[in-house]
Amino acid sequence: MREHAAPSGMSTFTLIWLGQLISLVGTGLTRFTLGVWVFQETGSVTRFALIALFATLPTGLFLPVSGALVDRWNRRWVMMISDSIAALATLGLLFFYLTGHLVTWHIYVAVAIQAAASAFQWPAYAASIPILVPKEHLGRASGMVQSAHALTEIAAPALGGALLGAVGLQGVIALDLLSFLFAVTMLLLVRIPQPARTTAGAAGQGTLRHESLYGWRYILARPGLLALLTYFATINFVYAMSQVLITPLVLSFTTEQVLGLVLATGGAGAVLGSALMAVWGGPRRRVYGVLLFGSLMSLSLFIMGARPVAFLVAVGSFISLLGVPIISGCNQAIWMQRVEPDLQGRMAAIRAFLGASTLPTAYLLAGPLADRIFEPLLRANGPLAGSVGQVIGVGPGRGIAFLLMILGLIPLLASFIAYRYPRLRFVEDDLPDTLNIKEHAPEGA
């Protein structure tokens, strides 16, 4: 066995990351301003919300096969073609807007095309990182990826509102097109070698169906990875549901302006967590980073639900969002180092698919649980008014607060079980460091 050397190092990854960051911000700006345009034109919340549906559904539909195709194809070309397809969809929107023919279904189609393209772009991007980045910097690279998403979540609404008034919808779309051009240019400047061919990768070759299912079989044969995947899905579910509940919780006792400050505080936590991960890279045993910050999510939810005080909700939101990029970065670094390079596309797609599957479930459950079960429990004369209500209060929003605190028990329990399960706690010891294995390496491009 020979040491696997990163062919181009952090400098190449940084160029790609910069291109993807600019592209993400550009897409976020367009997505935000298109939502504003649809709502202003139609006044329909349903038509506005459908943008989010079309922005996620196609991704989930393509992810089961996209990872296998990424592992077959040249990853740089997959990223360039995906970005180009998304850019063409955006160009179509600009054409219809400038000619006065833009209608809502054009936006749904364009957003769906972009989502389908991202189902290939993300696995190719994630699968390229362990090929380019030295293993000691995988945590930092994962943190940089998380920081790009965090910055986009904050920058898109803030810049979008200002730019919409300054340059109009056509100007924002034009900026998005320039961001795609920048991302593709960065990719043209670098080389992403094809991954080394490994025994595990060879076993996964065959028909598209076999290659797609092989990723799941690979995980099932490794209980530590399966447990890590399950734990991460659990934390993702709790996080998604809590984020849905924060807005109605805050609005139950204060104003929209205060809500904005609370959400901004949470966003600041996400940026700080991403920056910390990018600089620090996580603990030496990354599984401890996953479990520790997963446990802190419990604390954050207890703080949010304790009393109807905006400051407490803001602090809880800050802690929760501070931990998310560290959990994600440490988790991603484990997968990158413990899975063979020629299977990384499939692994990235599976993780993304599971994440995309838990979010709709959390969104669908949050409302009915709050409205039909927990809020009635903590009305002034509700069944729990004389017990739980004596601690956290009664009235509007206190049922949501209690639901958040119940949700807070899940990460704590999951972290305890995960720590007590040796296959997960020692997953980094039990599985080989695949970046130390270099079998046949085909020519890169």
Give pLDDT tens digits for 404-438.
999 999 999 999 999 999 999 999 999 988 876 54
Q: What's the rounded Cα separation, in Å, for the pair 258 and 249?
A: 12
Q: List C-alpha distances in Å: 80 to 94, 142, 378.
A: 21, 21, 53
Which residues, 6+ apart, have CB-to-CB distance to 221 below 8 Å? none
- Identify any residues that bridge with 440 across adjacent strands, giving them in sequence order: 197
Task: For residue 51, give the nearest of 84, 93, 19 by alpha carbon.
Answer: 93
User: What does the mean pLDDT of the chain come to?
Assistant: 87
The whole-number pLDDT of residue 152 equals 79
The whole-number pLDDT of residue 42 equals 78
| DSSP string across 252-272 | TTS-HHHHHHHHHHHHHHHHH
Residue 440 dihedral angles phi and psi, to the nearest 5°:
-70, 125
Angle 138-188/75-98 helices, nearest 10 degrees?
Answer: 60
Assigned CATH for 206-428 = 1.20.1250.20
The whole-number pLDDT of residue 45 equals 59
Q: Which parts of the chain register pLDDT below 70? A: 1-8, 44-46, 49, 436-445
CATH architecture for segment(s) 8-194: Up-down Bundle (1.20)
Percent pLDDT > 90 in the chain is: 47
| Start-end of CATH 1.20.1250.20 domains in the chain | 8-194, 206-428
The whole-number pLDDT of residue 5 equals 43
Residue 239 dihedral angles phi and psi, to the nearest 5°:
-60, -45
The whole-number pLDDT of residue 7 equals 42
Task: For residue 329, give the nearest of 288, 274, 291 by alpha carbon.
Answer: 274
The whole-number pLDDT of residue 49 equals 67
265-285 pLDDT per residue, tens: 888 898 899 889 888 888 989
